[in-house]
Amino acid sequence: MELQSEVITTDIFINGEARPATGGGTYDIFNPARPSELVGKAASGTKEDVDEAVRAAHAAFPAWSGLSYAERAAMLRNVATELAADQADLTARSQLFTREHGKIAQETMIELSRIGERFEQAATFGEALDEDERIQGARFDTLVHRQPAGVAALVVPWNWPLAILGCKLPQALAAGNCVVVKPSANSALVPSLTLHRIAAMLPPGVVNIITGSASRIGDPLIGHLLVRKINFTGSVDVGRHVMKVAAQNITPLVLELGGNDAGIICQDAQLDDAAFERMYWAVFGSSGQICYAMKRMYVHESRYDEVVDGFLAKCDAAVVGDGLLAETNMGPLNNAKQLKVVTDMIAQARAQGADVRECGQVPDEELYNGGGYFQKPALVLNADPSLSVVREEQFGPALPIMKYKTDEEAIALANDSEFGLASSIWSEDTDRALGMARKIESGYTFFNDHGPRAQDGLGPFGGFKLSGIGRNMGRDGVLGFTEAHCISAPSGKLI
């Protein structure tokens, strides 16, 4: 079907069936490039829908958790295969995703592909948990059995909803949990359509989807007595609220929150065209709307001018516009609120005398100035550390670039943040880079690259400080949806 002009409506999905929300309510989703263009209507779920979904997951849990890890892994592999089987459907969903979200078509296709890849990865990790851990002591033998927690509430943000869902949904399922997923209200159409496909491939009640306003359905979900695990990705402020609600039932949770990730360009860094290309995507991929994009760049003073010149050249080549057009490599921001955050930071930097360079090409000036949520790449050179563009997460196409003198100073600057999600070291000396990385307070450090394009998902991902609690992805991501159950007996009885 032709999705470039059709207005679609998506349902909630409970206990194996898609249906409208209770009361039939919906809300509108518009194209961020053309905010007057209605893309679709998503079901506006209610607290009654949430309760029904949680109870459906709870009812499905005994049978699903009773399967072996290997049996569940086989089902996850089937999901991975089927998600990629229909290329025409994949292309149609990608086009719709660009229209509802704003990101360029290349990135929407990557995201739609990545969730299937992560189902395959989670299957591998899950199979490894079929065997109990065996501990032989002087007096007792102990088996450590990993039991699924029960119903898991999965809350995903709007920026990379399916890729982030791939960090938690297949892991929860591999571990034996049943789930209720709440996509962001700002990007619910394609996530819902994709989740409906996944849910339909699994037993009824294993995957349930509720869309709608967080203010209406958020607390009823994370505060439900039958929810045994919460996995939330989003802002720090909302994360704090989630912790408060979870505390009422002492519900364990994983929080992946904001980041203000530092990239350190060392004196011996290789600065060729390929390196600047990687830097560009590390900063401006998805218009900077990536939780672990590079958001602060620290450059050794001896290479500062070289880095600025090379990076400016890449930014000048940015083509800002409608994400469906092949020549576009930067679409709009997703929503007006986030655009204002970024433009306010740029305005503050200018007002305080900073050297702000806005870069890039705008082939369609009428579109760019027509009310869409566009912002060209902006570099703040020699930024004062007190500026909000340095201290806070921009979550948009703005980057401060600053000098440093020594490795110790660079590490101190990188750590001078309330956040600690990811970081990167750009150096040709592996030992030096590794030594620096071990001193940085972040959950992930990349060498000579940064961000999603540099990550395979095999290791655990999460943050220090305000960037969160717990880990997603990797074997740890599956274990995070289980509880350790120790079974002990006198020596020789169990082992």
User: Taking 90 as the threshold, does the pLDDT of residue 1 lie above it?
Assistant: no
Give phi and psi for 27, each to the nearest 5: -135, 160
pLDDT attached to residue 2: 40
Domain ranges in the chain are: 8-257+471-485, 261-456
Percent of the chain topping pLDDT 70: 99
pLDDT in tens, 31-54: 999 999 999 999 999 999 999 999
User: Taking 90 as the threshold, does the pLDDT of residue 138 lie above it?
Assistant: no
pLDDT attached to residue 251: 98
- The residue-averaged pLDDT of 76-82 equals 96
Fold (CATH) for 8-257+471-485: Aldehyde Dehydrogenase; Chain A, domain 1 (3.40.605)
User: Taking 50 as the threshold, does the pLDDT of residue 3 lie above it?
Assistant: no
pLDDT attached to residue 131: 85
pLDDT in tens, 188-211: 999 999 999 999 999 999 999 999
Decide: helix, strand or coil at residue 103: coil
pLDDT in tens, 84-99: 898 999 999 999 999 9
Q: Which CATH architecture has domain 261-456?
A: 3-Layer(aba) Sandwich (3.40)
Average pLDDT over the chain reads 96
List the alpha helices (DSSP H) in 201-265.
214-222, 236-248
pLDDT attached to residue 4: 53
Percent of the chain topping pLDDT 90: 94
pLDDT attached to residue 154: 98
Candidate from 129-143, 264-278, 316-330, 420-434 with smallest mean pLDDT: 129-143
pLDDT attached to residue 5: 66
Point out which residues pair with 19 in neighbouring strands.
12
Q: Which residue reads 């401006």 in tokens?
A: 284
Pair of tokens at residue 101:
């979200």
- Band (pLDDT 50/70/90 cuts) for residue 477 is very high
Exposed/middle/buried for 452, CB within 10 Å: 0-12, 13-18, 19+? buried
pLDDT attached to residue 6: 82
pLDDT attached to residue 129: 83
User: Taking 70 as the threshold, does the pLDDT of residue 287 lie above it?
Assistant: yes
Length reported for the chain: 495
Cα distances (angstroms) measured from residue 162 to each of 8, 165, 194, 389, 400:
19, 5, 8, 28, 29
pTM for the full predicted model: 0.96
pLDDT in tens, 436-460: 999 999 999 999 999 999 998 899 9
- Catalytic residue positions, numbered: 256, 291
CA 140 to chain centre: 43
Largest Cα span, the chain: 79
User: Taking 80 as the threshold, does the pLDDT of residue 228 lie above it?
Assistant: yes
Give phi and psi for 208, each to the nearest 5: -130, 145
pLDDT in tens, 372-397: 999 999 999 999 999 999 999 999 99
